[in-house]
Chain A
Amino acid sequence: AQSVTQLDSHVSVSEGTPVLLRCNYSSSYSPSLFWYVQHPNKGLQLLLKYTSAATLVKGINGFEAEFKKSETSFHLTKPSAHMSDAAEYFCVVSGNTDKLIFGTGTRLQVFP
């Protein structure tokens, strides 16, 4: 069985400071891991995905995530937050099917 735990429901940062959104996963299989972002009243947009290639994954808009098997973590980072990054972020795992298991989400607030 697969599951994800997003460790923070809300994260607040100032514009220009680093962003860290934490995610731990559990999977019986070698997992595929994703980060999706959802802006208000919008659908989900893929930021990045890990599928057992390089452990450091670069995504869109300057985001990246590192897969750490020993820690079962897949934290999302960005060196410098922008006001437009304010949104809800979902860590997602899939096993060997097309069924995605979503975390509960982390709401990122960015203050000027």
Chain B
Amino acid sequence: KAGVTQTPRYLIKTRGQQVTLSCSPISGHRSVSWYQQTPGQGLQFLFEYFSETQRNKGNFPGRFSGRQFSNSRSEMNVSTLELGDSALYLCASSRGDWTDTQYFGPGTRLTVL
């Protein structure tokens, strides 16, 4: 079974731009969660989508948004990029029950200049 895939793997943007990251979950998984990993803040939960609806949300500003499509693929968008948005963005998929294991993709490394 194919794992979680994320595209692109690397991105370089400048301040003020916006960016869209994509995540394709494991086949049959209906939940996709997004996390931000930085050296200073560690791994932080952004949001989770289940059946095209945002089910959980972390403590990030509204510049961070996401959506999920009917095939469970998810996109994350960051508008008006700031230097502090430079991070590894990880997505994880699961079947959707909170006891299920979340499987992580390799991440998208975003650098904001």
Which residues does A use to contact B, with CB under 8 Å? 32, 34, 36, 42-46, 49, 51, 90, 94-105
Contact = CB atoms under 8 A, between A and B. Distances in A.
B103 A46 contact: yes
Interface string B14-43: 000000000000000001010100000011
A100 B42 contact: no
Contacts of A97: 48, 55-56, 98
Given A43-B106, A103-B42, 14 more contacts: A34-B101, A43-B90, A43-B104, A44-B92, A46-B103, A96-B98, A97-B48, A98-B55, A98-B94, A98-B100, A99-B48, A99-B56, A100-B45, A100-B92
B106 A51 contact: no
Contact of B45 (A45, A99, A103): A99
What band does the interface of chain B fall in when counting residues whose beta carbon is under 8 Å from A?
20 to 34
A44 B94 CA distance: 14
B66 interface: no
A96 B103 CA distance: 18
B11 to A, nearest CB: 15
Interface of B: 4, 31, 33, 35, 42-45, 48, 50, 55-56, 58, 90, 92, 94, 96, 98-107
- The majority secondary structure among interface residues of chain B is strand
Given A43-B104, A43-B106, A105 B33 contact: no
A95 B56 CA distance: 12
B42 A104 contact: yes
B43 A102 contact: yes
A44 B99 CA distance: 18
Nearest to A29: B98
A100 B33 contact: yes
B103 to A, nearest CB: 7
B107 A32 contact: no
Given A99-B48, A104-B42, A46 B101 contact: yes
Given A96-B98, A98-B48, A100-B45, A45 B104 contact: yes
A74 B106 CA distance: 26
